[in-house]
Amino acid sequence: MNDTIFKDRIAALLQVMQATKTIKADNIPCKIEEGLYLGSLGAAHDKSTLKRLNVTHILTVAHSLSPAHPNDFIYKTIPVMDREDVDISQYFSECFKFIEEAKKTGGAVLVHCFAGRSRRFAFILFILTFSVVM
């Protein structure tokens, strides 16, 4: 992947971060790249939109959140607390594998957390960076 594509992805991620700050009640996932969406808890509950976007997998980055539609999507939950002092890097590898598996099968992944803090952005940024290295 070249630097231009990587910079475009980072710019898209920054736009998503800004939009999330200003619109907390957003239930529409934002496309980061083909097969990868970033969204809120509301987006994770909007089954019709997820189906329309071909989302097949949902990566929940939050502690104690049950899957909203367990019979309709493949879920992976990363049980991290809603605190800034939690080290989320230990989960990056398994999240990358989960996202790549969804893409290989022609599906898409929604990444979301509960409070809309920086965890989901950190996971997306890692995935984008890791895919450049791979």
| Mean pLDDT of the region 61-75 | 90
Residue spans per domain, the chain: 3-133
Q: Are strands 108-112 and 55-61 parallel, antiparallel or unpaired?
A: parallel
For residue 19, is pLDDT > 80?
no
Whether 22 contacts 39, CB under 8 Å? no
Band (pLDDT 50/70/90 cuts) for residue 130 is low
CATH fold of the domain at 3-133:
Protein-Tyrosine Phosphatase; Chain A (3.90.190)
DSSP 76: E
| Mean pLDDT of the region 31-48 | 88
pLDDT at 69: 96
Q: Of the listed 16, 58, 110, 113, which one is catalytic?
A: 113
pLDDT one-digit tens code per residue, 52-67: 999 999 999 887 788 9
Answer yes or no: 113 catalytic.
yes
Band (pLDDT 50/70/90 cuts) for residue 24 is very low
